[in-house]
Structure 1
Amino acid sequence: MLFVDTRNGDGSAGGHAIADLARDRGIEAVTSCSGGDLRARVSEVVADGADALGMAGGDGSLALVAAVAAAHELPFVCIPVGTRNHFARDLGMDVGDVADALDAFTVGVEREIDVGVVNGRMFLNSVSLAFRGGGRRGDHHDAGVCTLGATARRVLVPGGLMPELRPAEETEGEQLRPGVLLISNNPYALEGPSAGTRPTLASRRLGVLFIDAWKEMRPSPGRAWSASHLDVQAADETRAGIDGDEVQLLGPLRFDVQPAALRVRISRRHPGAPPLARLPSWSSS
């Protein structure tokens, strides 16, 4: 079963006539809306005996359908028609080849990849913890690691109000007020030709990028490390971006990685790794 979310990403799913292409290949396809209606529809088709789930839409919709697939141990197929297609790129797909992406349903290769979880909610890409104060919605949510430094300088202002956040295993009791805290499902490469991509989705590690608040009119240097889990003390209600969608999380926050929790299929003709992928040399904790 393929779900086509025409209201997500850049709206290109309809332009690609994804549903018709899928049906031509014998794949049952339905157009759907996002959010609760999509979640309910996916649950219905699983109850009716679906043996594979796919999603054509943005990263937020992909994560929702993938979570159901993982819960029922079903294979998941990503059709890259979103705005940025972060997950598809890091999965090693050719994001310009929608027809081949559909072939993954029938003649694809299968891999098991990790997923991230925050307070029981699954994410495929990353969670960015929001600050209170300046900045517009979208300035930091799903900003992309390769531009995160520039984003931090643009949206953080001296004296801006941020939630009290403390990564327990990193700060050793020191109370910090970060401007940006991004936790990713597997670490991103931060420099070199592969910057902004995850060279692997099977490292069994979270990536953590931490940029402190401004001090004396200058941004503090960022720090990056990897971890199997992360505990963050936060307000009872903390605004965050999860795979590009804005949500409210209830503190404290617990981040974990679930190794090999999702079965994914991609086309045999797709490369299977991000271009110029290189493992990052992050410290571990």
Structure 2
Amino acid sequence: MMAGAEARTRVVVVMNPRSGGGSPARFDLANRVEGMGARVWSTSVDDDAASLARLAVREGAEVLGVAGGDGTVSAVAAVAADTDRPLLVLPAGTRNHFARDLGLDIRNPVSSLSALVDGVPTRVDLGLVGSRVFINNVSFGLYADALLEPGYREDKVRALASVTPDYLAGRQCVEADVDTPRGAVHFPQVVLVSNNPYHIATPRYLGRRFTLTSGLLGAIVLKRPTDTPPDLLRHLRSELLRQQPGPGTAGDAASAWRAASITLRGRGRQLDAGIDGEAVTLPLPVTCETWPGGLQVLLPRDRPGIPSEPVLGLQRPPRGP
């Protein structure tokens, strides 16, 4: 699709040099990208990823690339979707959830550059919460509060540990009700809305998405039961693994279902949330919706775990012991 140096000069890669503890430098990404005729624009205190991506489009970029973690990818993906530009993802963050679920080699971001030569353009879904795009999920409750803790980026385990006790004891909850197909769940401890459903049927692949083209959101709601077991987290995990995909009942400790839209309602005016790992405050009510095929991604032909055909459809977990 992008064969030839002349075509590749119309590619701008927005790079976060701090992602993954300096992953772009370890893989010499800037030089490798420029060696293929594309341009690299690095984020800084004055230039965030979204601003650089918008500027690149104004200056004629026909393909937007992004090298960084999920937060950086999400920001550039929103601009790519809004301007109908293909997105090239170079997974250079710590977790790289979106890149992993695209089938990219998250251990070697350089491998994604082959898409500039003979890439496969593929449409995938996005999520929307209000006017904001999300590629992975919107979280409310325990995880969203951890994002607000000072030093979260430097020590995520400590941040989560500092907010977990109040949620496990039932002293803290999401100050909202969640609409489910079987009624509202009142004041849960955790609400997670994902762009396409997460796999929850087996522990080995828990948290993976084997499709990004279902046209549906996934929802997981965890609510502390009245008779709290000694190990609440283990109980909630077993509840999720026990359930087949479906809404459960409004009184279940754990509920999981899929839908085109999911709404949270509350008596207050706003709600703390995390969008792709970034702390935000959203006005109530909050409605999350799916945007089927909202983003075109430019994928390398050789992707780990993805069949050779250029379609990201529903995939079963790989077979294994």
Query: TM-score, normalised to structure 1's length?
Result: 0.84
Corresponding residue for residue 223 of structure 1: 255
Residues 202-252 of structure 1: per-residue CA shift (max 9 Å, x gap)? 000000001013423334631100000111113322111111111111111
Corresponding residue for residue 155 of structure 2: none
Aligned residue-pair number: 267
1:126 to 122, 137, 142: 137
Residues 57-104 of structure 1: per-residue CA shift (max 9 Å, x gap)? 110110100010001111001101101010011001111222221121
- Whether 1:236 aligns to 2:246 is no
Residues 85-128 of structure 1: per-residue CA shift (max 9 Å, x gap)? 10011001111222221121232111100000011100000111
Structure 2 residue identity aligned to 1:228:
A
Structure 1 residue identity aligned to 2:198:
Y
Corresponding residue for residue 310 of structure 2: none
Corresponding residue for residue 207 of structure 1: 218
- Quick check: 2:176–2:186 contact (8 Å CA) kept in 1? yes
Please report the RMSD computed on the Cα atoms of aligned residues, expressed in angstroms.
2.9
Q: 1:72 to 1:48 in 2, by over 3 A?
A: same
TM-superposed deviation, 1:137:
4.9
Corresponding residue for residue 199 of structure 2: 189
Q: Output the CA distance in 1 between the equivalents of 2:302 and 2:41.
A: 25
Q: Output the CA distance in 2 between the equivalents of 1:228 and 1:35.
A: 37
Moved more, 240-249 or 212-221: 212-221
- Quick check: 2:213–2:292 contact (8 Å CA) kept in 1? yes
Structure 1 residue identity aligned to 2:194:
S
- Whether 1:180 aligns to 2:180 is no
Structure 1 residue identity aligned to 2:259:
A
Q: Output the CA distance in 2 between the equivalents of 1:157 and 1:236.
A: 25
Q: 1:237 to 1:46 in 2, by over 3 A?
A: same
Structure 1 residue identity aligned to 2:226:
K
For 1:90-101, list aligned pairs within 5 A: 90-101=101-112
Mark the runs of 5 or more structure 2 residues left unpaired by the alignment: 1-11, 153-160, 237-252, 308-313
Higher-Rg structure is 2
Moved more, 209-218 or 247-256: 209-218
Q: Output the CA distance in 1 between the equivalents of 2:116 and 2:30.
A: 14
Q: Output the CA distance in 2 between the equivalents of 1:43 and 1:135.
A: 30
Mark the runs of 5 or more structure 1 residues left unpaired by the alignment: 142-149, 280-285
3-state DSSP class of the match of 1:88?
helix
Q: 1:198 to 1:136 in 2, by over 3 A?
A: closer
Q: 1:35 to 1:229 in 2, by over 3 A?
A: farther
Moved more, 91-100 or 259-268: 91-100
Q: 1:98 to 1:135 in 2, by over 3 A?
A: closer
